[in-house]
């Protein structure tokens, strides 16, 4: 086959099940040969599209699709000021699509291009949540009955406080009888309402307080281990919300419950606190989804301050940098646990799976259970059963996008263009999301 070049790069927006997804499709000079990649930055999707349409498309049109490394490196420096989620997600969509094309040209799945399978399937974890201890326990039991072995658990904080990962109450306009921040958010709700009649701060942030959250979370772990035992692997995401010294305390307190890992105990800005945690507890630590560049997490890997590397593949620019980071982690006995929430498209999950299968230091894969409409839009979506994600072994990433069907689910209007509003402390100050 003669040299195959990039003929066009197109961005596809779709929202089949309430989450905005950004897909890149690269068409080539070879009729019928194309690739797809995930560029989803659901809080800033139109900015990613602009980076693709206005800059990467003209920069890369006519380039040899085989030159993935050179395309990545030149794209990375083409803006001079480099790095950041907008540029990196745009580059990721291109990068994943090029690996998809390379696999199709070779007649091989991408995991074979990375050295072949180190395992037949990738263990996944799913998300259990609830309003109280027993509701979470029931959710865990339900997932266990389906064959899941690793389950992240999150519980609502009593008193109407916002809580990450529960999908329940927590907006600041909830009425309670509270008069102090340990009992509920009504008093600050009224103050926010005075300066903001539309309660802009109430959606979806709400009011978060560390101590009530910590008490309810520790109560949950005690209940789950007492009622379910230690045969199921439990995970928990702090989501960087608490003061660092309380994070150190929490890591010590949960050691008795033998978590599979404790995630995002601190934000990247406070990562030096992980040294303090390492000196005081053996609770396994997971970190990484907020990093934009592998260089940012390299010191933590080198110093063995984390056990599971949780980087979001599209956030750092795609499979090309991610597979290098996985190799670095292997040298320091750090396992992979690629970020895989609902705003990682099925194409992104297929990319995750290519690395999960081929990396010897794979640990676990976060999985979002997609709705039926999303699976229809993305034929070939990875299949999960018995607690594992299984490949279809088709060439490339093994997945496609039905553009005609995708167009039937356009982006919906959102406040602030879809940007997140931050949760706030009871005094009105911002909390990291």
Choose, from 149, 239, 312, 349, the residue flagged as catalytic. Answer: 239
The more confident residue out of 271 and 176 is 271
164 counts as catalytic: yes
Does CATH place domain 122-397 in 3.20.20.120?
yes
What local confidence, expressed as pLDDT, does residue 1 receive?
56
For residue range 65-75, what is the model confidence (pLDDT) as tens digits?
999 999 999 99
Range from 158-162, 181-185, 311-315 carrying the lowest mean pLDDT: 181-185
113-127, 154-168, 346-360: least confidently modelled range: 154-168
Distance of CA 233 to the CA centre of its chain: 20
- Report pLDDT for 177: 29
239 is known as an active-site residue = yes
What's the mean per-residue pLDDT of the chain?
90
| Of residues 421 and 45, more confidently modeled | 45
- In the prediction, which pLDDT does 122 show? 98
Write the pLDDT tens digit of every residue in 208-253: 999 999 999 999 999 999 999 999 999 999 999 999 999 999 999 9
Across the range 302-315, mean pLDDT stands at 97
Catalytic residue among 34, 125, 164, 213: 164
pLDDT at 326: 98
254 pLDDT above the threshold of 60: yes
Higher pLDDT, 52 or 166: 52
Does the pLDDT of residue 189 top 60, yes or no? no
pLDDT at position 205 is 65
Residue 395: what pLDDT? Answer: 98
Q: Look at residue 386 and tell me whether its pLDDT is greater than 90.
A: yes
Q: What is the model's pLDDT at position 433?
A: 76
Residue 250's pLDDT is 98
């Amino acid at each position: 086959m003669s040299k195959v070049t990039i003929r066009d790069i197109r961005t596809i927006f779709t929202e089949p099940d309430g989450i905005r997804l950004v897909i890149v499709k690269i068409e080539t000079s070879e009729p019928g040969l194309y690739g797809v990649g995930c560029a989803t930055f659901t809080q800033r999707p139109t900015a990613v599209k602009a980076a693709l349409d206005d800059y990467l498309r003209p920069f890369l049109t006519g380039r040899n699709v085989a030159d993935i490394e050179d395309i990545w490196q030149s794209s990375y420096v083409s803006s001079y000021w480099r790095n950041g989620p907008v540029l990196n997600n745009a580059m990721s969509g291109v990068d994943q699509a090029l690996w998809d094309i390379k696999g199709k040209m070779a007649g091989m799945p991408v995991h074979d291009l990375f050295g072949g399978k180190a395992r037949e399937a990738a263990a996944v974890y799913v998300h259990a949540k609830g309003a109280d201890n027993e509701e979470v326990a029931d959710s865990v039991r339900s997932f266990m009955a389906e064959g899941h072995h690793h389950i992240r658990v999150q519980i609502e904080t009593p008193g109407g406080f916002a809580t990450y990962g529960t999908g329940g109450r927590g907006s600041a306009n909830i009425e309670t009888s509270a008069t102090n921040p340990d009992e509920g958010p009504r008093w600050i709700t009224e103050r926010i309402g005075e300066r903001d009649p539309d309660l802009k701060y109430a959606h979806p942030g709400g009011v978060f307080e560390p101590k009530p959250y910590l008490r309810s979370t520790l109560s949950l772990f005690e209940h789950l281990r007492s009622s379910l035992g230690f045969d199921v692997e439990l995970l928990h995401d702090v989501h960087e919300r608490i003061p660092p010294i309380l994070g150190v305390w929490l890591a010590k307190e949960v050691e008795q419950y033998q978590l599979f890992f404790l995630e995002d105990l601190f934000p990247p800005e406070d990562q030096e606190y992980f040294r303090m945690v390492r000196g005081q507890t053996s609770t396994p630590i997971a970190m990484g989804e907020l990093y934009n560049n592998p260089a940012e997490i390299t010191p933590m890997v080198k110093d063995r301050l984390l056990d599971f590397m949780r980087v979001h593949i599209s956030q750092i620019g795609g499979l090309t940098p991610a597979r290098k980071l996985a190799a670095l982690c292997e040298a320091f006995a750090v396992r992979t646990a690629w970020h895989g929430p609902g705003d990682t498209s099925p194409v992104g999950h297929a990319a995750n799976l290519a690395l999960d299968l081929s990396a010897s230091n794979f640990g676990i894969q976060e999985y979002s259970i997609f709705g039926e409409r999303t699976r229809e839009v993305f034929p070939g979506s990875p299949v999960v059963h018995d607690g594992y994600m299984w490949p279809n072994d088709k060439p490339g990433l093994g997945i496609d996008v039905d553009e005609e069907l995708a167009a039937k689910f356009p982006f919906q209007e959102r406040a602030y263009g879809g940007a997140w509003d931050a949760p706030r402390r009871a005094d009105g100050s911002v909390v990291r999301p």
